[in-house]
Amino acid sequence: MTGRIAIVTGGTGALGQSVTMRLLGAGATVWVPYVVPAEHEALRARVGASASLHCAQVDVADEAAFTGFARGVLGAHGRIDILVNGVGGFAGGDLASTPLAEWDRMLNLNLRTAVIGCRGVLPAMAAAGSGRIVNVSSRAVVPPLGGFIGYTVAKAAVITLTQALAREVPRGVTVNAVLPSTMDTPANRQAMPDADRSGWVSPDQVAEVIAYLA
């Protein structure tokens, strides 16, 4: 991936850091928008000194902010080759116990950010006639599982977005989604301390698949 320019949203999270590290290791230049300063510091500490990593505090759910960020990447390099839509969030609850505010939060974190990300990079990819978009959905939606319905529906929408957008983009641009099962992250270990982790997948394994698609 030497010479290729990538944007990884959610690139300071557990999966995002693995994706960022994988793309950097393959020679790409990676731009990461972030909102949590502590996560940014953790990513910087993990990467170390690198002229190929660029980070900016940007809310990906704010279309004007992300569009400005994407324009900055284009201004610096003249191209955007890869977008990984890795921003997301999880919440439990069935239909009766999930308030509408939580539905809005799940849709904003998981779907809105992916839509904004795609809208921000597609004009440049279409003009170049090449590009790779990888969205992160969830294994929980095939088949859809109950008990965290807001999350499940939002991640299912990401799959539909991916399938529909793949039919809209010009030749040379690809749109794919990955559907990880439960990932072995500190947050999941804390949330499910008694769970059997033998079937959990590591963020590095998911990052490898994302890198393949990119």
**Choice among 31, 66, 69, 151 that is catalytic:** 151
Q: Helical H runs in the chain?
A: 14-25, 37-47, 63-77, 100-107, 113-128, 149-168, 186-191, 203-213
Across-strand partners of 134? 84, 176
Q: In sequence order, what DSSP letters do the residues of 78-96 get, joined into one string? A: S---EEEE-------B-TT
The whole-number mean pLDDT for each consecutive block of 10 residues of the chain, a chain of 214 residues, reads: 97 95 97 96 93 96 98 98 95 93 97 98 97 96 88 97 98 97 80 81 95 98
**Burial (CB count within 10 angstroms: exposed 0-12, middle 13-18, buried 19+), residue 139:** middle
Residue 172 confidence (pLDDT)? 98
Residue 197 confidence (pLDDT)? 82
- The verdict on whether 151 is a catalytic residue reads yes
Task: Give the strands of the sheet with 53-57, arranged side by side.
Answer: 53-57, 29-34, 5-9, 82-85, 131-136, 173-178
Residue 200 confidence (pLDDT)? 85
